[in-house]
Structure 1
Amino acid sequence: MDERAKGRGDAQAVRERVRGFALELPGAYEDFPWGESVVKVNRKIFVFLFLGHLVAGQGDSPPTATVKLTDPGAHAHAMSAPGALPTGYGLGRAGWVTIPLGAPDAPDAELLCDWVEESYRTIAPKRLVAELDARAAG
């Protein structure tokens, strides 16, 4: 199986797979504040999907996914990913983690989708989380 088939390697393909997964969650919709893609539920962001940009003095940054992980184990796992950082603007203190996409040793799309679902469960209203659970059970 090649790297793309496992969900690694092509940052844009990984980003689109994660984006598609996020948009399938109950009540999820895409918005574009700051000209970048975010997915929201109940007017609250649960995943940022930045395409990457020029970082002063550092060259281009890779595309990233940013999720809120309040479970200590998931948070620690995400922070162990190569290049992962607590999210800026004080969001890192609340459990937000920014993860670069597409590097050979980056988390695969399936794991990223698991983290997106956890972020969704943290942000979404209980009735939508219950709807997600009902889908999974049915």
Structure 2
Amino acid sequence: MTSLKEAYDALRAYGLDLPEAVEEMPWGHSALKVRGRSFVFLNLEEDRLSLSMKLPVSRDFALIFDFTEPTGYGLGRSGWVTSSFAKGDEIDLDLMKRWIVESYRAFAPKKLSKLLPAED
């Protein structure tokens, strides 16, 4: 089973490996950005991991899971979804990575998106 810290590190590294992705730390949380636009927010606390992403294609599917909810601050109305995990929860890293890429594609210029493998 993956610890919250291991999951955070893996997802953060995956997001930062996308073309031109950078990290900023507003409000003490990790914001991964492409060309100045946030595509994922990651937050790790002692007993909780959360990540928020814009899912223009799979939002409705994502919301069937118990670990997801529309993102607060009005972002949920724009297709943002937050996934939250507690200690001991099983985290599907492959699914989270697919959602990170979907969110990245929502904000990255087309020429950067074309550098990624074709969508499934």
Using the size of structure 2 for normalisation, the TM-score is 0.87
Identity %: 40
Aligned residue among 65, 87, 91 for 2:51: 65
Q: Distance in 1 between matches of 2:14 and 2:64?
A: 23
Contact 1:14-1:108 at 8 Å conserved across structures: no
Cross-structure match for 2:64: 80
Q: Distance in 1 between matches of 2:74 and 2:4?
A: 26
Using the size of structure 1 for normalisation, the TM-score is 0.77
Residue 102 of structure 1 and its aligned partner are, at CA, apart by 5.2
Contact 2:7-2:91 at 8 Å conserved across structures: no
Which of these two proteins has the greater Rg computed from alpha carbons?
Answer: 1
RMSD over equivalenced CA pairs, Å? 1.9
Q: Which runs of 5+ in 1 are unaligned?
A: 5-9, 54-59
Q: Distance in 2 between matches of 1:96 and 1:23?
A: 19
Q: Distance in 2 between matches of 1:83 and 1:21?
A: 21
Q: Which has the higher strand share?
A: 2
Match for 2:66: what amino acid? P
Residue 51 of structure 1 and its aligned partner are, at CA, apart by 1.6
Q: How many residues align?
A: 118
Cα gap change, 1:87 to 1:106, in 2 (>3 Å): farther
Contact 1:40-1:47 at 8 Å conserved across structures: yes
2:82 maps to 1:89: no
